[in-house]
Amino acid sequence: MTVRSRILILVSAVAVLVAVGVASVLHASARAERRDHVQAGGPKVTSGTVTLTGHGRMVFRNMAWGPHRDELTRVPESDPAGARTASGVKCLRFYAASGTGVCLQAVHGPVSDTYRALILDARLHTRDRYDVPGIPSRARVSPTGHFAAWTAFVGGDSYAGTNFSTRTAIADTRTGELIPSLEAFRIVKDGHPYRATDVNFWGVTFAADDRTFYATLATEGRTYLVRGDLRTRTVTAVHANVECPSLSPDGTRVAYKKRVKGLSKDAPWHLYVLDLRTMRETALAEPRSVDDQAVWKDARTIVYALPGDYGADLYQVPADGSGRARRISTAAVSPAYLP
């Protein structure tokens, strides 16, 4: 083959490949156009004032298409599928309690995205900013509003690796003091101090005493529920196979994801509630695999997200294992209830 024909082949191939590439990018950016338009039949969203001090409301990240996509939005707790009021503040993950919010958001830089955690006051103004070292995954505020915690996925630095670790941070919202990683805490497991490099923490949930918290500890391929103490900086393993715990308002029970044997590796979790006094596990009436840190709407009801047409929908199920799951809201994620 002559050099000329080689170059000719290359040039024509490049033309075809460029066309395919450009077409795929254009197709994906047309999606942006579509998502900026309100879907027919979707929830009605209007701009307005959202505060974290109201009563009988739910504040969440709105995922419905249109100009208010990804914004913090409020609805009446009694009518979660009703008209939505959007705040203009965009978050990937969100939680709030006692007039303090935590909002994990992406910062679009010139070459890549970075992430940060904002501590919000009751009027959604930023009080504090922290860098988040990876892709945000979980966020919580203590019942008093004095502490906030978040988890990020960090990793994937080997060639096409899918090896992740998590980094969980806790911030004191009054002083601004940050614990960058729970891995600095002492670990007690089976009554002995425990150390390992493969330790990961995720999914903090706080008790009302501003001292106790619960979280998931993963090591050697297993997960544990740990009880943490902010004063002594210690975590103690109390139960095995617990992920993304969520402490009930009275502090006696934990709703969590449990890895159930026999389920597929891609959807291995079921929702359970653990009674912390008797250590009894109760399976909840949600047959699907849930990958979320659930929220207690009240002492009897658990709310959580499942994948939906617009990203995620919210469902609720009784906390005692009775009844059945029902959808309460479409195109919504990261709910926080303002009682």
Partner 1 sequence: MYVADSRASKAPVSAEGAARYAVAGRRRAAVAPTVLALGAVSLVTDVSSEMVTAVLPLYLVTGLGLSPLGFGLLDGIYNGFSALVRLVGGHLADRGGGRHKWVAGLGYGISALCKPLLLVAQTLTPIGLILAADRTGKGLRTAPRDALISLASTPENRGRAFGVHRAMDTAGALLGPLVAFLILRATVDGYDAVFTVSFCVAVLGVLVLVLFVPGGRQEAGGGDGARPTLRAAVGLLRGRDLRRIAVCALLLGLATVSDSFVYLLLQRRLGVPDRWFALLPLGTAAAFLLLAMPLGRLADRVGRWAVFLAGHGALLVAYALLLTSWHGTALPYVVLALHGGFYAATDGVLMAAASEGVPEALRSSGLAVVQTGQALARFACSLLFGTAWTLWGDRAALAGAAGALLVCAVFSVVVRPKGAVAV
- Exactly one of 42, 99, 133, 249 binds partner 1 (CB under 8 A); that residue is 133
- Parallel, antiparallel, or unpaired for β 186-189 and 234-240? parallel
**Both tokens of residue 171?**
């911030």
Does position 175 bind partner 1 by CB under 8 A? no
Residues 271-300 interacting with partner 1 (rule: CB under 8 A): 291
Helical residues (DSSP H) of 172-218, grouped into ranges: none
Are 171 and 139 contacting, i.e. CB atoms less than 8 angstroms apart? no
Among 54, 99, 155, 321, binds partner 1 (CB under 8 A): 155
Distance CA 103, CA 173 (A): 13
Q: Which DSSP letter does residue 217 get?
A: E
13 binding partner 1? (CB under 8 A): yes
Contact 233, 185 (CB under 8 A): yes
Rounded to whole angstroms, how far apart are CA atoms 73 and 117? 18
Q: Contact at 8 Å (CB) between 163 and 156? A: yes
Nearer to partner 1, 11 or 40 (CB): 11
Among 191, 193, 221, 262, binds partner 1 (CB under 8 A): 221
Q: Which of 40, 78, 112, 193 binds partner 1 (CB under 8 A)?
A: 112
Residue 320 beta carbon to partner 1: minimum distance, rounded to whole angstroms = 27
Q: If binding is defined by CB under 8 A, does position 10 make contact with partner 1?
A: yes
Q: Which residues contact 314 (CB under 8 A, 6 or more apart)?
A: 60, 80, 303, 304, 305, 327, 328, 329, 332, 333, 335
Q: Whole-angstrom Cα distance, residue 66 to residue 130?
A: 29
Question: Interface mask (CB under 8 A) for partner 1, residues 63-102, using x and -?
Answer: -----------------------------x----------
Q: How far is the CB of 27 from partner 1 (least distance, A)?
A: 7
Of 144 and 194, which has the nearer Cβ to partner 1?
194
**Does 261 engage in binding with partner 1 (CB under 8 A)?**
no
Q: Give strand ranges (E) for 37-125.
A: 45-47, 57-62, 71-76, 84-90, 93-97, 100-108, 113-120
Q: How many binding residues for partner 1 (CB under 8 A)?
A: 60
Candidates 40, 55, 78, 158; binder of partner 1 (CB under 8 A) is: 158
Site of interaction with partner 1 (CB under 8 A): 3, 6-7, 9-10, 13-14, 17-18, 20-21, 24-25, 27-29, 31-32, 35, 92, 108, 111-114, 131-135, 137, 153-164, 166, 180, 195-198, 200, 218, 221, 264-267, 291, 307, 311-312
